[in-house]
Structure formats: C-alpha cells, structure tokens
Chain A
Amino acid sequence: MNPIAGMGGKVGLKGTDGIDILNRAKELGAEPVSPQRTAEALGQLFPLKNEIELITYPAEMGEDVAVECGFRPYVIGTIDVGRTDVADTMRACEDLRAHGVDLLLFAGGDGTARDIYTAIKDTVVVLGIPTGVKMHSAVFACNALRAGEVSALFLQNRIKRIREAEVMDIDEDSVRRGILTAKLFGYLKIPYERRHIQGLKASSLPDEHAVQKAIAQDIIENMDDDCLYIIGPGTTTRAILEGLELDGTLLGVDLIQGRRLLGQDLSEKQLLDHIKDKTKVKIIVTPIGGQGYLFGRGNQQISAEVLKQTGRKNILVAATAEKINSLLGRPFQVDTGDKSIDQMLSGYIRVVSGYRERIVYKITH
C-alpha cells in the first residue's frame, strides 16, 4: 500500500509524487485515503482468510490495515515508519515476488503502478486498488470493492486468465503547469475480468486476445506492399507485427513496408524523415488506456505534423469491441496540441474491430 497515494487530490495538487509535494499536501490539510480504500478491498478477501496467506510490508505499507481488517498477515521487510518513499515500494515488490505471491494487490495511483513496473516488470500478476490522484493506467479495478472481489475470484481460481493492461506515465510537474504529457510506460499483467457481467446469450464472445489476432489477420490481408505503415503502440497493434512475424516494439512507434520492418521505436523526426516524399503512408493505431485517446497520449511521436502529412483518410484505427464498449459511449479523444489537426480528426471513423468487421465510432477533441 502506498500510504500517501491520493493525498494530493483533494487539495488540488494533481498528484503526490515527491517529498515536497507531499509536505505541501500535508500543509493544505490532506488526509490519507489509501488505508480506508484498502480496507474496503481487504473486506472482500476476509471470507477467504483461512485459505490464503496475506504477505505484506510493515506498518503503514499494509500491516496496519491488514490487522485492522482481522487478518494475521505475514510481514516482511523493514521500513522507516512515517518516511517511506519510492524505494520502499520497489523493494516491497521485489521482496513479495521473492516470496512467490500469486497476486500482488496494491493500493495507489499511476505513480505506484509505474514503480511496480520498474521494479518487477510483468513477472507477477497484479491488481490496483484505485487510491491515487491520477489513474490513467488500466491496471486498476473500477473501485476498491471491485478490486477486492476480483482478487478473491482470482485467488479462488474463478478468474483463470490474465490480461495485459497499460501503465501510463503522466508527468505531474507538467500537469501542474497545465500541460498533459503522457507516455505509455509498459504493461502489467492483471486478472482478466470482463468489464460487465457475462450473459449466457453473449457467451460466444471470444476473448480479447483472439479478437486482436482476428483484427491483425484482416489488416495484414489488406496490406499494400507499396505503402508505408506507421504502427502505433499497444497490444492490438502488436498482434499485427506478430502476425507478420516481425519484432516491433510494444511501447514505441514502428514502421513497416512490404511486410518488412523499416524502423523501431521511432521519434517524430524520424517518422517525418521516412514519410517525406512518400505518396502512400498509413497510420495504424489503437486507443490507448481506458480513456479512449487515439492521439496525444502514449503515442506523441505520431505528432500533429505527421498526421497532417498523412491525412485523415489514411488513418486505420484498430480496437476490439470490448475495448470500445468499455468506453461506455464516450467518444475517442484526440489531443495533438494542434487545434486544426484535432478538428480535422474529429467526426466519425471506421474502426477495424475483427476479421471483416468494422465499427463506426465518434472522435472528439
């Protein structure tokens, strides 16, 4: 548990990364929010307390709240009580992994998710109890109760599969200055849970990974060997590279032509150099994270200038119906930093959502 996560929120500080901000939050009267929400989640695990072993870090990093909830946790590690920081989070993750935990249930925000990813990558299945200020990452349950429920289902082996979920890295300093810069930091493995209840009539829906493969198949079949394809980040677009048996990057922007990889993890400038004087260029992207951003979050390399040169009709959006449905009707968003390009992108667009399947969905800015 990140004990200070979320404290910056109610006092308007956009986050709680860094000791100075924490102190300022405290001065402004911020109260910890993590313990209460963590308790809500642990409450859902309480009926399993004799079947599971709860391993945690000392005092404010989990022990206190676990004891309060009636657990007798196995406590590992040492901390400087009242003065924990990023290093403690990272060390806790490493220690928990070393103890072979089945699930790492954490409480925090984007910063915590980022620290976990840095420490242990995707070697352990994790799930976030949302207690932070910023939660652009897709590793969180929709609320603390649900985090507890999903954890219980996973530990009882009633949720059997896992999915990769985005960890977004938002720079808090920039946000405080009114600029939102976001980068796709990586993917953590979380228990695979349908966002809505599973109905009998719809039980024929295949899982998201199978649909990603179907999308890739459709796109690959329709590829033009003379055309340059800019491939944005994400697991949906990665399936295209996998289908072509190419080693692209999951987080970066890659370039392919004639089923061959021309460049990996390219910058905006490199992209512009490549597409200069080319007549056939297409951009393949998938909305990033749970927010539905098509451009401007996590794929800033595909900049307003790149989009301008490529043109709207050459943008190929790929997304599973499940991903689109999870937006609950909210349109795709764009935020390229150039109002005229955002305007150009707005309106309705065809999305490749399966093999020979398209969805028409709205883009706003």
Chain B
Amino acid sequence: MTQKEKKKYRLRENFHQAKWDEPIIFELHTPGERGILVTEAEPGVVEAVGNGISALPENMIRKQGPALPEVSQMRILKHYLRLSQQCLGADFNIDIGQGTCTMKYSPKIHKMLAASPKVTEIHPWQDESTIQGALEIMHKLDIFFREISGMSRFSLQPSSGSAAIFIMASMVHAFHTFHGEAEKRDEIITTIFSHPSDAAAAAVKGYKIITLYHDEDGLVSVDALKEALSDRTAALFITNPEDTGIFNPNIAEFTRLVHEAGGLCGYDQANANGILGITRAKEAGFDLCFFNLHKTFSSPHGCGGPASGALGVTDDLIDFLPVPLVDYEDEKYYLNYDIPHTIGKTRGFHGVFPVILKAYSWVMSLGRAWLKEAAQVAVLNNNYLLENIKKIRGAASPFAAGKHRIEQVRYTWEQLTQDTGVTTEDVTCRMADFGFHLWSSHHPFVVPQPFTIEPTESYSKDELDEYLEGLRTVVEEAYEDPEKVKHAPYRSVVHKIDHSTLDDPEKWAITWRAYLKKDGKDKKE
C-alpha cells in the first residue's frame, strides 16, 4: 500500500459485545398484562357470533389457555431488540470465518418480497388456481436449476441439505428396488472431506457407510474408491470441491467406476459458490445432485433463516422423485402427484416458499453472466485470502501446495500451537474481541488445529483486509504474550464454555424427559 492510499478499514479495538442481562421471556410474565387490549365487539357482532370463541364448536375450545408469557408491547419490543444486540449476526460482522457455511449477502429487497403479504398470506391448502404466481416461481426455478446443473428435473421439496441427502438415499433405494437389487446393494460410499451429512443422512436411510480417506496430497485416490466398490455398492455421495477447497480432478473417473459397479452417483452441491456456471453435475457424470438455496442462492440460514434444498436428477430418475412436482399444462401451473415410482411425500406441503422466492429473486437479479461472475469473484476472494493467510506466522494450508483453491480453504494453526501453545479455540475467542466470528467447527478433525475461511463473493477487499488484520494481530499477540490470547475473550459477554460433556452420550439429553431420566439414573448410582 502506498502512503497516499488511505486504509479504509481499521481493527475495532474498542469493540465490546452488548450485555443487557435480559431475563428470559417467561420471567417477564405478569398475569393480566397485555400487548393489545381488544375493544369489545359491537352489539350486532355479539349477537351474530357471541364473544367470538363461543362460535367455535365445543370440542375445539381448549380447557385452559396457552401458558404464554403475558407481556406489554413496549416491554416485548425492548426484550427482542436487546437480544438482537447480543447476537453477532451476518449483517453485523465480517462473517467469512464460517467456512463451508459463510452467509453471502442476502439483498434486503428479496427479504421484503418474501415478507410481502402476497407471500405471507398465502396457504399451501389454497386452491391451485389462487396460487398460480407461487407455482410459476417454483416451476421457473426448477428450469433455472436444470440449466445450472445439467440435470433434467428438480424437486424443491427438501427442507434442508440433509433432507436432500436423505431423499437422494431414498431415491437410490427406490431405484435399486425397481431393478431388484435393493437388498444386495446396501453400501453408500462417501469421502472424509465431504459434508458429514452425506454419511449421516444415508445411514438414517439404513445404508452402511464407507468413508474414503484422502492421501497425503489431500485427494482421494481412484484406487481407494476401487477398494470400496463392489456389487454391494448402492451409490457414491460426494462433495466437490471438498471442504478443503480442493477440486477432485478425477471426478469423472469416479462416477464412471461407480456406474460400472452398478451404483448411482449423488453430488452434494450444497455449497456451489465457486462453481456456478463453471462446472455442472451432468458433465461430471452424476445422476442426482442438490443445491442449498439457503447457502449458494443467498438466503440466510442457520439461526438466520430456514433452509431449503433443491434436488435434481437425470432422466432415468425423474420417475422416482418425491411428489408433488410443479408442472405446467394448458396455460396452468399445477401440483403433479402422478409420478410412476415416486418415493412419496417427504415433508408437509411443498418446499419452504419464502426461501424459494429469495433464491428465485437472486437468480433473476443476476442472470446467467453474473451468476458465473459471482462464482469467479468467490474464488478470487478465496485465493487472495489464501495468499495472505499463508504469510501469517504459525498458519498453513495443508495439502495441494502451490495450487489455487476453489471457494474455501481448511487452514491449520498447528505451528502456532507448537510455538506458543495457543490453539484454534484461543484464536477464535480472541478474534471475538475485535467483533469477528471465527467458527469452531471443522469436522472431521483430520487437520490439526483447523480453521476454515470462506469469503464468498459478497465481501469487499477492505473487509477481507480487516479480517486479515484481525488474524495478524491475534497471532502477533500469541507470539508476544500467549497468555493474553489464551485467556480471551475479554470483550464478550460469555467466557469460554466447558463442552467436555458434549461428546459423552451418557450425558446427552435432547429432551427434558431424557434429562430427567438420565438425571434420575445418576441419582440411583
């Protein structure tokens, strides 16, 4: 940077997370307190319907009212605004430390469309003739995805990426059942750097899971795949590029070998940020693929919004898709339940419409050329970070030395830890002091002291530079005064959390009932 150039960023050394000590909503309960006092109905209305409730059939009236907190409007507004200030949401921070899951910017106009009464006040049980616009959007998005992936047909029914994987596994099962091989073909192959749901959701369907590990170069070899393939192979479910940001150059050979063994190939394209308009599932030889609309197609996800998947298949598998599909005939859009070998319905209604609408808006606002541009900028941003992070003392990017990565990189702080004792978790906590989020999940733990950065196309160079400055500052502190970093965070409202019991099945209690049961068991002992 020349002296004349002025930095457009600076490290937020005075950042401090908000702490309101806000009680939980149930603690705010004051019996009788109301947000709105509804005025009494006029005599004519009372005459017609009584007090409103009395017009309902007797058996539909609850005996007791719901145990909801009774809170005034002004107090409840404060409550949620305070809570929102305690969150480090995607609209607040430079969220690129959430590699594999970074939220790209979701244009507010698209949110406004999704929040419009035209969307919020329609109901999936309405007659098709009254929701032609919504069905048209679903149908057209299906056609866009066919073009983007090369597949022949899409279902927007999956309510998440994992749901899409489960549906892929169900369709694989239906396909092999149709060909009389389902009993024999009971294994699904995946790779260690594919998303863990590829293994998990397929296992939920009842498949045995074979996980291929990478070699020293970070790639899974063709020979490893050959060892896994047999007449028991039902399918290969794989992410590409994998979580390391490395694109498997042998992918066409992989799909060819799987087909040769009689299996199907499912492409986990939940995160297609780096490949839109550049590579397609069809040309790589896949039979099924899916996108996460809430990741690649801009809609917020995780705690920021609901998920939605789009599942695509080749001609051979259309007849197995879940029902209903949205079709167009005689100038009318309709829900088509007439799919010969359908696996049936996989959720209530049909997809998460607000997310579908936001994805549709995103594609429409960019168009073909800019979708590709978005992918190219995501890759450029990623490689800019890669070059700069490699220069930070104590950081490294395992595998594929000297090569570019696609949309993200799994880095390691191994050297930093060896030199200073400062771990990824410590760096994560210290980054929080500057208002940054550095995610802590890097499953599987194959890379020591891992951290994964994915910039997407949304963030500017200034923002990337600010984040880099944060990493450099923390590392500098680690070498000068490791204890300072180890005792971070200082400007957050919660200190380090003990999650030692999180990996002990004996302690897990997903429900209150399970908690009581496990707690009771402990007491007996």
A205 contact set on B, CB distance < 8 A: 443, 503
B209 touches A329 (CB 8 A): no
B211 touches A328 (CB 8 A): no
- Neighbour of A161 across the interface among B203, B440, B504, CB < 8 A: B504
Task: Tell me, yes or no, whether B208 is within 8 Å of chain A by CB.
Answer: yes
How long is the Cα–Cα vector from A338 to B80 in the complex, in angstroms? 71
Task: Tell me, yes or no, whether A171 is within 8 Å of chain B by CB.
Answer: no
* Interface 9-mer from B46-54, B142-150, B220-228, B358-366: B220-228
Given A210-B505, A325-B446, A359-B211, A347 contacting B498 (CB threshold 8 A): no
How long is the Cα–Cα vector from A196 to B443 in the complex, in angstroms? 10
* Interface 9-mer from B165-173, B250-258, B259-267, B418-426: B418-426
* In the complex, per-residue mask of B95-139: 1 if CB is within 8 Å of any chain A CB, else 0: 000000000000000000000000000000000000000000000
A149 touches B503 (CB 8 A): no
Task: Tell me, yes or no, whether B4 is within 8 Å of chain A by CB.
Answer: no
How long is the Cα–Cα vector from A16 to B490 in the complex, in angstroms? 46
* In the complex, per-residue mask of B294-319: 1 if CB is within 8 Å of any chain A CB, else 0: 00000000000000000000000000
Task: Tell me, yes or no, whether A160 is within 8 Å of chain B by CB.
Answer: yes
Within 408-462 of B, Cβ neighbours of A (below 8 Å) are at 418, 421, 423-425, 439-450
Within 214-234 of B, Cβ neighbours of A (below 8 Å) are at 214-216, 221, 223-228
- Neighbour of B441 across the interface among A143, A201, A348, A359, CB < 8 A: A201
Task: Tell me, yes or no, whether A87 is within 8 Å of chain B by CB.
Answer: no
B502 touches A158 (CB 8 A): no
Task: Tell me, yes or no, whether B39 is within 8 Å of chain A by CB.
Answer: no
A328 touches B421 (CB 8 A): no
- Neighbour of B448 across the interface among A159, A199, A328, CB < 8 A: A328
A358 touches B208 (CB 8 A): yes
Size class of the contact patch on chain B: 35 or more
How long is the Cα–Cα vector from A353 to B209 in the complex, in angstroms? 10
B449 touches A196 (CB 8 A): yes
Which one of B418, B450, B501, B502 has the highest number of Cβ atoms from chain A below 10 Å of its Cβ?
B502
How long is the Cα–Cα vector from A128 to B323 in the complex, in angstroms? 60
Task: Tell me, yes or no, whether B28 is within 8 Å of chain A by CB.
Answer: no
Given A160-B500, A201-B443, A196 contacting B448 (CB threshold 8 A): yes
How long is the Cα–Cα vector from A205 to B505 in the complex, in angstroms? 9
* In the complex, per-residue mask of A328-365: 1 if CB is within 8 Å of any chain B CB, else 0: 11000000000000000001111001001111111000
Q: How many A-B residue pairs have CB under 8 A?
A: 123
A362 touches B440 (CB 8 A): no
B441 touches A199 (CB 8 A): yes
B498 contact set on A, CB distance < 8 A: 158
How long is the Cα–Cα vector from A199 to B410 in the complex, in angstroms? 14
B214 touches A329 (CB 8 A): yes
A321 touches B210 (CB 8 A): no
Size class of the contact patch on chain A: 35 or more
B228 contact set on A, CB distance < 8 A: 350, 358, 360
Task: Tell me, yes or no, whether A113 is within 8 Å of chain B by CB.
Answer: no
Within 174-213 of A, Cβ neighbours of B (below 8 Å) are at 194-207, 210
* In the complex, per-residue mask of B367-399: 1 if CB is within 8 Å of any chain A CB, else 0: 000000000000000000000000000000000
How long is the Cα–Cα vector from A362 to B214 in the complex, in angstroms? 9
How long is the Cα–Cα vector from A317 to B223 in the complex, in angstroms? 18
Which one of B192, B203, B221, B500 has the highest number of Cβ atoms from chain A below 10 Å of its Cβ?
B500
Within 16-35 of A, Cβ neighbours of B (below 8 Å) are at none
A159 contact set on B, CB distance < 8 A: 500
How long is the Cα–Cα vector from A329 to B224 in the complex, in angstroms? 14
Least Cβ–Cβ distance between A196 and chain B, in angstroms: 4
Task: Tell me, yes or no, whether B213 is within 8 Å of chain A by CB.
Answer: yes
Given A44-B421, A207-B505, A350-B228, A356 contacting B213 (CB threshold 8 A): no
B502 contact set on A, CB distance < 8 A: 198, 203
How long is the Cα–Cα vector from A201 to B502 in the complex, in angstroms? 11
A10 contact set on B, CB distance < 8 A: none
A194 contact set on B, CB distance < 8 A: 445, 503
How long is the Cα–Cα vector from A160 to B499 in the complex, in angstroms? 11
How long is the Cα–Cα vector from A159 to B199 in the complex, in angstroms? 29
* In the complex, per-residue mask of B443-484: 1 if CB is within 8 Å of any chain A CB, else 0: 111111110000000000000000000000000000000000
Residue of A nearest to B442 (CB): A199
Task: Tell me, yes or no, whether B18 is within 8 Å of chain A by CB.
Answer: no
How long is the Cα–Cα vector from A347 to B228 in the complex, in angstroms? 12
Least Cβ–Cβ distance between B413 and chain A, in angstroms: 9
A302 contact set on B, CB distance < 8 A: none
B445 touches A325 (CB 8 A): yes
Given A160-B500, A197-B440, A360 contacting B209 (CB threshold 8 A): no
B212 touches A360 (CB 8 A): yes
How long is the Cα–Cα vector from A207 to B196 in the complex, in angstroms? 17
How long is the Cα–Cα vector from A202 to B424 in the complex, in angstroms? 15
Which one of A149, A194, A205 has the highest number of Cβ atoms from chain B below 10 Å of its Cβ?
A205
How long is the Cα–Cα vector from A204 to B210 in the complex, in angstroms? 19
Residue of B nearest to A193 (CB): B500
In the A-B complex, list the 9 residue pairs whose CB atoms are closest, starting with the nearest.
A201-B441, A199-B441, A196-B445, A202-B443, A348-B227, A203-B502, A145-B421, A356-B208, A358-B210
| B-binding residues in A (CB < 8 A) | 44, 143, 145-146, 149, 158-161, 194-207, 210, 321-322, 324-325, 328-329, 347-350, 353, 356-362
Query: Could you list some 5 contacts between A and B, CB below 8 A?
Result: A329-B214, A347-B227, A348-B227, A350-B210, A358-B208
| A-binding residues in B (CB < 8 A) | 187, 192, 196, 199, 203, 207-216, 221, 223-228, 418, 421, 423-425, 439-450, 498-505
